[in-house]
Amino acid sequence: MSGKSLLLKVILLGDGGVGKSSLMNRYVTNKFDSQAFHTIGVEFLNRDLEVDGRFVTLQIWDTAGQERFKSLRTPFYRGADCCLLTFSVDDRQSFENLSNWQKEFVYYADVKDPEHFPFVVLGNKIDKLERQVSTEEARTWCMENGNYPYLETSAKDDTNVAVAFEEAVRQVLAVEEQLEHCMLGHTIDLHSSSKSGSSCC
């Protein structure tokens, strides 16, 4: 199993203009466009990587954050393995909208167990000097809303961009390993005369 490449779908959500497309393009093509156009609907790009000895093909889905494109993006949420909730540290409203993005994702992706779904929160544009959201405040939100990992990024300066996508992979692998562990517990249970040793799921 560990030798096989795994295809993982991660989806970038967040308000229009926070830098979702810029993060994806920086990570996959190592380019940054200071005059990027708003996304209409969705786009995706793949990148292969290795995380902790696992070979992964990351399929990154970049969505349109503007409200008027809602009906174009939501059909693509299903099947996502991880959701990157993105805001811009110089835009308070984009931070305050994180809960709405989380709810929209859970609803349209039809997530059965939201408490255990791997979300990662990204505070982008940390190269900007005028911040409207502090690191502490963002960390607190993450802790109180599901204990999500929080990373501060700059697509412009290429700060933490690869780290952010690698963290997404780690979160998915951690959930997957937990599931495998649970299934193993059940398998043992079926063939054993004694009661199951696992009670994790």
Ligand X SMILES: Nc1nc2c(ncn2[C@@H]2O[C@H](COP(=O)(O)OP(=O)(O)OP(=O)(O)O)[C@@H](O)[C@H]2O)c(=O)[nH]1
Site of interaction with Mg ion (CB under 5 A): 20-21, 39
Instruction: Give the nearer residue to ligand X in terms of CB position, either 131 or 176.
Output: 131
124 in contact with ligand X (CB under 6 A): yes
Length of the chain: 201
How far is the C-alpha of 184 from the C-alpha of 22, rounded, in Å?
41
Task: Give me the helix-helix angle, 161-191 and 20-29, nearest 10°.
Answer: 90
Residue from 9, 11, 13, 19 binding ligand X (CB under 6 A): 19
Residue 16: CB minimum distance to Mg ion, A: 7
Between 72 and 91, how does the x/- string for binding to ligand X read (CB under 6 A)?
--------------------
Element at 49 (helix H, strand E): strand 42-51
Binding-site member from 80, 83, 89, 154 for ligand X (CB under 6 A): 154
> Closer CB to ligand X, residue 51 or residue 101?
101
Question: Residue 83's closest CA among 55, 49, 108, 51?
Answer: 108
Task: Specify burial of residue 167 (Cβ count, 10 A radius: 0-12, 13-18, 19+).
Answer: buried
| Residue 125 touches ligand X, criterion: CB under 6 A | yes
Question: Using CA atoms, how far apart are residues 114 and 146, in angstroms rounded to an integer?
Answer: 9
Residue with tokens 């690191």: 135
Binding of ligand X at residue 71 (CB under 6 A)?
A: no
Which DSSP helix (H) or strand (E) runs through 48? Answer: strand 42-51
Residue of 2, 34, 194, 199 that binds ligand X (CB under 6 A): 34
Q: Least CB distance from residue 155 to Mg ion, whole Å?
A: 11
193 binds ligand X (CB under 6 A): no
Comparison of 71 and 193: residue with beta carbon closer to Mg ion: 71
Q: Which stretch binds ligand X (CB under 6 A): 10-18, 46-54, 96-104, 106-114?
A: 10-18
User: What's the CA gap between 117 and 33, in Å, rounded?
Assistant: 32
20 binds ligand X (CB under 6 A): yes
Distance CA 164, CA 23 (A): 9
Contact residues toward ligand X (CB under 6 A) are 16-22, 33-36, 38-39, 64-66, 124-125, 127-128, 154-156
